[in-house]
Amino acid sequence: NLSTKLDKAFKTLKGQGSITEINVAATIKEIRRALVDADVNYKVAKEVTDKIKDEAMGRDVLTTVSPGQLMTKIVYDELTQLMGGTKEDVVLKGDPAVILLSGLQGSGKTTFAGKLATFIKKQNRTVLLVACDIYRPAAIDQLKVLGEQVGVEVYSEPDNKNPVEISQNAIAYAKKNNKKVVIIDTAGRLAVDEQMMREIEAVKRAINPSETLFVVDSMTGQDAVNTAKTFNDRLNFDGVVLTKLDGDSRGGAALSIRAVVEKPIKFISTGEKMEALDMFYPERMAQRILGMGDVISLVERAQQQFDEDEAKRINQKIRKNQFNFDDFLSQLEQIKKMGNLKDLVGMIPGMSKAIKDVDIDDDAFKPIESIIKSMTPQERATPEVLNGSRRRRLAKGSGTDIQQVNNLMKQFEDMRKVMRTMNKMSSTKGGMQQMA
């Protein structure tokens, strides 16, 4: 799997402390190949790996996991993020709420219509299925059979060849008969076709659905992306349904489609049974694409251990009044990683004061970080040596000005004062418990 491949690519990294430009290149290639193998569109795979490279560069390699494992975790996080981060629900607005299904023939629309009806019925809402495939009489029967199977009424007008009329009539029927959700199953062609597009556009315009879903067969690989793009250009759909994920498809289509049309994937369909429907969870799909087992949790545990050790180490230094710029930088990185900055700044003694006049987002730390990174190891360890000329050099080196450098020095000194005071207080109280 990818993790082992990455371990190999990372052989050269052994003994080095962090991921750098040179040692990451081979790995990035390996990741790109793995993504393309999983049916991710080449262009998307390239964009993704460029992002991953930025993310990976300079990350410390933890001692308890292999660099390949760490890299896999970085890739996993990035893929999850790219696929939307969290699951997104279908929107049911209006009385009745109308859901319009679109997609090519054979993509799984009719099957999905039955599944979605089952899904919504379970939430105690009344559903009406509407047969709008006017080209194949068998399609109406197929939906009727499904409707019967799941206990949902099916509306159809076998002699009417106008899908706009049928869907409008169906909505009126739903209102009269107290159906809260209307699911409209439409016709599809084997390939994108102008008449089909016009037809479904017209239906959408006429009924203004609260949700237009694009249904696509995940086994169609690269084609899925082009089809999605064409449908989205014409329909501006709200979400994607990925079908036939019970096959050996690796799910790369999910990533490509999300990246190309920027619409959320809402459901995945994993079989012909009516229960075989799942919400789309980006993290599960990322795992599927990468084809890995428990690497993620392994790395997460190691990361946590690393963070705990680091916190202990810094605490020690605070107690001994040895807190320096290396520690400051490490704390900044910790805070950024943890996300919600506003909640966290108060956790480090003096830190909230040091950054009180900056807006709290990741960018806010950039000048501070670049100033610290411009320091020599000696300057970081013993900030007292930072005289006027050294400070001017730092300003130049970090692309800031002397005012910003002086501010940082002042804030840093204030922080250390707070720490010293706290140390005194807690030692007079006879222990460190208060501080912790």
Residue numbers belonging to the annotated binding site for GTP: 103-110, 185-189, 243-246
> Which residues between 237 and 256 bind ligand GDP (CB under 6 A)?
243-244, 246
Interface with Mg ion by CB under 5 A: which range of 49-57, 101-109, 124-132, 428-436?
A: 101-109
Tell whether residue 269 is a contact of Mg ion (CB under 5 A): no
CA-wise closest residue to 263 among 91, 412, 5, 145: 91
Least distance to ligand GDP, CB of residue 284, Å: 16
- In terms of CB distance, is 90 or 113 closer to Mg ion? 113
Give the span between the Cα atoms of 346 and 333, in whole angstroms.
15
- In terms of CB distance, is 150 or 408 closer to Mg ion? 150
Interface with ligand GDP by CB under 6 A: which range of 259-267, 270-278, 332-340, 341-349?
A: 270-278
CB–CB of 163/132 below 8 Å? yes
Collapsing DSSP states into helix, strand and coil, what is residue 88?
coil
Alpha helices (H) along 262-324: 282-290, 295-319
Among 72, 110, 118, 256, binds ligand GDP (CB under 6 A): 110
Among 106, 221, 291, 397, binds ligand GDP (CB under 6 A): 106
Least distance to ligand GDP, CB of residue 180, Å: 24
Interface with ligand GDP by CB under 6 A: which range of 27-35, 103-111, 347-355, 423-431?
A: 103-111
- In terms of CB distance, is 131 or 355 closer to ligand GDP? 131
Long-range contacts of 283-287 (CB under 8 A, 24+ apart): 283/76, 283/80, 285/79, 285/83, 285/251, 285/254, 285/255, 286/76, 286/79, 286/80, 286/83, 287/76
Percent helix, strand and coil across the chain, each to the nearest 5: 60, 10, 30
- In terms of CB distance, is 279 or 358 closer to ligand GDP? 279
Could you say which of Mg ion, ligand GDP, none residue 246 binds, taking C-beta under 5 to 8 angstroms by partner kind? ligand GDP
> Which residues between 179 and 198 bind ligand GDP (CB under 6 A)?
188
- In terms of CB distance, is 271 or 291 closer to ligand GDP? 271
- In terms of CB distance, is 276 or 364 closer to ligand GDP? 276
Among 109, 204, 250, 288, binds ligand GDP (CB under 6 A): 109
Interface with ligand GDP by CB under 6 A: which range of 74-82, 202-210, 265-273, 420-428?
A: 265-273
Least distance to Mg ion, CB of residue 287, Å: 31
Binding-site positions: 103-110, 185-189, 243-246
Tell whether residue 110 is a contact of Mg ion (CB under 5 A): yes
CB–CB of 16/61 below 8 Å? yes
Tell whether residue 105 is a contact of ligand GDP (CB under 6 A): yes
**Region label for 344, one of left (φ > 0), alpha (ψ between -120 and 50) or beta (otherwise):** alpha
- In terms of CB distance, is 62 or 104 closer to ligand GDP? 104
Interface with ligand GDP by CB under 6 A: which range of 85-93, 170-178, 268-276, 393-401?
A: 268-276
Listed in sequence order, the residues at least 6 apart from 356 whose beta carbon sits closer than 8 Å to its beta carbon are none
List the Cα angle 25/31/37 in 5-degree steps.
140
Could you say which of ligand GDP, Mg ion, none residue 269 binds, taking C-beta under 5 to 8 angstroms by partner kind? ligand GDP
Residue type, 353: K
> Which residues between 111 and 150 bind Mg ion (CB under 5 A)?
139
Q: What are phi and psi of 316, to 5 degrees?
A: -55, -45
Strands 277-279 vs 265-269: parallel, antiparallel or unpaired: antiparallel
Tell whether residue 288 is a contact of ligand GDP (CB under 6 A): no
Joined tokens for residue 46:
């390239």
- In terms of CB distance, is 155 or 412 closer to ligand GDP? 155
Q: Which residues pair with 277 in a beta bridge?
A: 269
CB–CB of 228/260 below 8 Å? yes
Could you say which of Mg ion, ligand GDP, none residue 103 binds, taking C-beta under 5 to 8 angstroms by partner kind? ligand GDP
- Cis amide linkage into residue 282, ω under 30° from 0: no
Listed in sequence order, the residues at least 6 apart from 164 whose beta carbon sits closer than 8 Å to its beta carbon are 202, 203, 206, 207
Collapsing DSSP states into helix, strand and coil, what is residue 155?
strand
How many contiguous H segments (helices) and E segments (strands) does the chain have?
19, 8
List the Cα angle 376/380/384 in 5-degree steps.
110
- Kindly state the helix (H) or strand (E) to which residue 184 belongs, with its residue range: strand 181-186
Interface with Mg ion by CB under 5 A: which range of 53-61, 110-118, 198-206, 270-278?
A: 110-118
- In terms of CB distance, is 48 or 203 closer to ligand GDP? 203
Binding site for Mg ion (CB under 5 A): 109-110, 139
Binding site for ligand GDP (CB under 6 A): 103, 105-111, 188, 243-244, 246, 269-272, 276
